[in-house]
Structure 1
């Protein structure tokens, strides 16, 4: 055990378990993690390796013998009838039936809704009456034919906690630093925080590390502690998006298959019963891109519910369940943020219009989370899953004290509008609950939470701003004030320097000049001046790499913003010599014509031999005649020693290019392909760009 293991065992004695044992057994037994942890704490409460192995075998035997799977209900009932009694592991509910004036138990996978139960069981375990609980249940068969039931409960031992003492949890948290407690939470859900601090070389340069990566995982837990929270995560497959909602908490449910109806989700008019929103803390929608809405009015009712936690369906319904939408995104994120036509919500179903999107409080960038494999799973101790889930459930129901802390300390900037403020405050409140459940974070710790919350909301607003033709969502520069009055604007790292996201085209009329998102509309008479000033302010030095097969890197996307204000352009590229390379250069010249600021172009290139130089001279002369008609003087020269490929602009920007202008894959002579005209759709060769300011 390391120091954190020892401290955790000392502070939370009896409430911890070795998480690697859960992971190992999980491979052989598809049982909820909190059920396995209950059995492990019973059979593997030791440090002796031999006893642990024996305990693991015992756990598997118990699962094999006692865990009921939904498709085995008939066999389970038959076993009880034949043997007289049998012990099962199942989720059990108890309901009071008014007409019969008695309680009946129902076991989910056992398949019986009419099981007799002694009142002592539900008096000792109130959760049986409040949504049910997992338990070891001994079911006996009733042989008296006159009775109106076949089974009764002989014994019941809860797997979940029957009661939760919040003061012990809060006092225990105080024994840990902020960073230690974050690691405790990550270990408790089975993850290895050490690898997030020191990632392996193969992912080190492609994903964030340290606190940011840890916050990404922790933010998946937000809907479990914050009521009526609308969360969305889009990212690659295999990053564990749905795991948190299917395994971590018995108060959360995962809806797979993409089906959603008003009756099952919200309210069943025929039965006059509240749907899933009335029974769960969190409802997660897996594969949201494939989500199918059965009823035409489901989306409208969802909008009402997501806005304020209530809706009317013949009668007003108030509920607290949060919504989590998780799905895949297969497109290149860099391509999407630099596209004027597409955005990061591209995979959402069409029914998810701007009204639904505006109700998302936090957008987790799933592309910043590496794919899960064995090295990401911890071998250390963590809090028993059910104990952590109970703590989260307690905080889910208690908001006031946390809201008071946030309202007292948080001051947001002028660009933060109504729904922005609600989203940010709810996210900050949730993260304070998870990381600082019993006290106020320090100023630095609080600001880190605030910035992370604002970023998650800004990511939502940026996508809506790209979609909306007017300026309704144009105030994307969300900010907050520190305690000393400094205003800090928060950006999303993937889109900070993407002009297509920061200044999206609103209409064809102003497509050549984009206004700043937080300014008043630009007067048409001042378009060119204001645009140049905006570009100078917003453009930054950067280096980036394009990988083989990437799309979304047309000349317009890569170069256009930096060409604004450049009256003279010098291109040094030794490989403007083949026919397709000359056509590439001509396409680049077309960008310069459209920008409208360039007056002089100079090309320095090479030729394979005298014949090619003579032929290319004729081609360049034709280009020069065409450019002259557009008010641009074009000069060219051939060099025998040129090697570097660089673009030098009179506005002070230089762009070094690994492959020059020739970085697109060949179409192999087939010109009936997508990408022949739109270079943003043409796959690239591997190359790199270094854009820097000459000082």
Structure 2
């Protein structure tokens, strides 16, 4: 336990857990992380090695006896019928059935949709009615044959937070410096920050940005085994991971037959794993995706508005150096062909996944961090109830090459960093400059690839810049492509010859032209030559046309 651990335990008592214990149990079980952390907080709240070992054994015994697996539903129901009641760990929903004018509980792995529940449970736990929560739940067996239910809820103890105090969270944050808080966030997701550079730390924060900023479109491409999908499959109960396969309009956006909104209406984040394997057969899906990524709404027989962020993850199987120096390929090479420039232009940020470290125990922390569910709730609260865009808009100054979607993407990235790292108030000028510089780079990486693909100069203004707090303009480059001529000055197609124009030749041509700045700033107009009608002579011409 270091100084930061002691400080964290003192400020957020009861909301932190030792992350190395989570790693030790997680490897042998297929249980959500926040369930493990709930049990560890109960049985392993000690620094004594002997007590910790006994606590770990108690956690494993509890999982063995109480955690319901989906393929064991029949055995679990039989156990309740035989014993009269039993305690389980399961995800519980409460649904109001209009025709019956009453509430019923539904247990996911226990596989029962009609469990009687007392009003006090869902009155005290709001989230039971809003997507459900994981809980320790005691199920009793009803022996009265005339009743229309077999099981009932005798007791319920939430594992996930039933209510979240954001004011307390923000007040606790104010007791830490920015760098301390950055390390706490990283330890909370299981990483040891002392082994990461500031740039790598920012990369991990960017991965989390979708969880705090609504309608934020993000892409990460890189090698396998860097944990791209973990943040969306394990960290937050408010995100869902779509793994390859066919992406359809009814699943993602709206099902006309059922009059039901798709995934974007139910999750904070919809993440696509292995983006290269996404199959989109219906062209309308792409068009709806473009509309949704642009402004969070679309029309599908009905106007639908949703806040979900879209995250795209994929693997690059090529050398980054070769790609940035290639005249034919770019860093969007794994993207499916249906993802055109309009889709790419809607990405606020491109995270360079090739810079991320491979998953290794060397980078895992043995220190304390927030219980995953607590931090996920903090992020969800800010996703739903906090808007920092106007704060950023008043403070940020961007260069003239920053165009419409560049500006929006950069500002939303900065908003996400403020929500994660400064939930209690504004950052210092130097910290704000750091976030703006990083956000500009992440957006430039998107624009550079589009500029390579476009045969004209629509996206040629890639030298994005910002004005630092000292008033100086700073042009931001991507480190992988800064010296790559093929990326900075890509080939262009010539309309006359049908060939590509050499960027170096283009540069030489530009150097031979002399540009003179007029002090008076008066533009000189060149008048086109006008030919008098009198000078025109009509002549008769004959043409021979051959048939066959």
TM-score scaled to structure 1, two decimals? 0.71
| Contact 2:444-2:462 within 8 A present in 1 as well | yes
Mapped to 1, the partners of 2:379 and 2:295 lie a distance apart of 21
Listed one character per residue, the Cα deviations across residues 169-227 of structure 1 (whole Å, up to 9, x for unaligned) are 1111111111111100000111011111xxxxxxxxxxxxx210111111110011011
2:212 is equivalent to residue 232 of structure 1: no
Q: Tell me, in whole angstroms, the C-alpha distance in 2 between the residues paired with 1:335 and 1:125.
A: 55
TM-superposed CA distance for 1:486, in Å, is 1.3
2:409 maps to: 423
* Native 8 Å contact 1:22 1:33 kept in 2: yes
Structure 2: segments with no counterpart, 5+ residues = 515-548
Query: Which of 280, 297, 300 is equivalent to 1:293?
Result: 280
SS in 1 for 2:235: coil
Q: Secondary structure at the match of 2:221?
A: strand
Aligned in 2, Cα 1:260/1:111: closer, same or farther, shift over 3 Å?
farther
Q: How does 1:447-466 map to 2 (within 5 A)?
A: 447-466=433-452
**Shift, 1:142, TM fit:** 2.3
1:127-176 Cα distance to aligned partner (Å, 9 max, x none): 11111111111122223333222222111110111111111111111111
> 2:481 maps to what in 1?
495
Contact 2:90 2:107 survives alignment (8 Å) = yes
| Partner in structure 2 of residue 469 of structure 1 | 455
Secondary structure of the corresponding residue to residue 39 of structure 1: helix
Distance 1:465 1:212, change over 3 A: same
Superimposed CA distance per residue, residues 606-653 of structure 1 (whole angstroms, 9 cap, x where no aligned partner): xxxxxxxxxxxxxxxxxxxxxxxxxxxxxxxxxxxxxxxxxxxxxxxx
Over the residues paired in the alignment, what is the CA RMSD in angstroms? 1.8
Once residues 163 and 77 of structure 1 are traced to their aligned partners in structure 2, the CA distance between those partners, rounded to angstroms, is: 30
> For residues 243-297 of structure 1, what are the alpha-carbon distances to aligned partners after superposition, in whole Å with 9 as ceiling and x for unaligned?
1111111111112243322222211212111111111111111111111225442
1:531 CA displacement: 5.3
User: Given the alignment of the two structures, is residue 442 of structure 1 paired with residue 428 of structure 2, yes or no?
Assistant: yes
1:118 Cα deviation (Å)? 1.1
Structure 1's 261 and 110: CA in aligned 2 closer, same or farther, altered over 3 A?
farther
8 Å contact from structure 1 (residues 513, 531) kept in 2: no
Q: Tell whether the 8 Å contact from 2:220 to 2:352 is kept in structure 1 after alignment.
A: yes
DSSP-derived class of the 2:115 partner: strand
- What displacement does 1:85 show? 1.9
Q: Deviations over 1:47-78 (max 9, x none)?
A: 11111101111111111222222222233223
Q: Which of these residues, 445, 463, 478, is aligned with residue 464 of structure 2?
A: 478
Q: Which residue is 2:242 aligned to?
A: 255
Partner of 1:353: 340
Partner of 1:70: 70
Distance 2:492 2:147 in 1: 73
Instruction: State the match for 2:198 in structure 1.
Output: 211
Task: Provide the rounded CA distance (Å) in 2 between the counterparts of 1:167 and 1:427.
Answer: 23
Determine whether 1:528 maps to 2:515: no
**Is the 8 Å Cα contact of residues 307 and 359 (structure 1) preserved in structure 2?**
yes
Higher mean alpha-carbon deviation, 146-155 vs 177-186, is at: 146-155
Contact kept in structure 1, 2:492 and 2:502, CA below 8 Å? no
Structure 1 residue ranges without an equivalent (≥5): 197-209, 517-521, 535-695
- 3-state DSSP of counterpart to 2:503: coil
User: After TM superposition, what 4+ stretches of structure 1 lie above 3 angstroms from structure 2?
Assistant: 508-513, 531-534
Corresponding position of 2:327? 340
In structure 2, relative to structure 1, the CA distance for the partners of 1:191 and 1:406 (3 Å cut) is: same
Q: Which residue of 2 aligns with 1:80?
A: 80
Task: Provide Cα deviations, 1:219-241, integer angstroms capped at 9, x if missing partner.
Answer: 11001101111111011111111
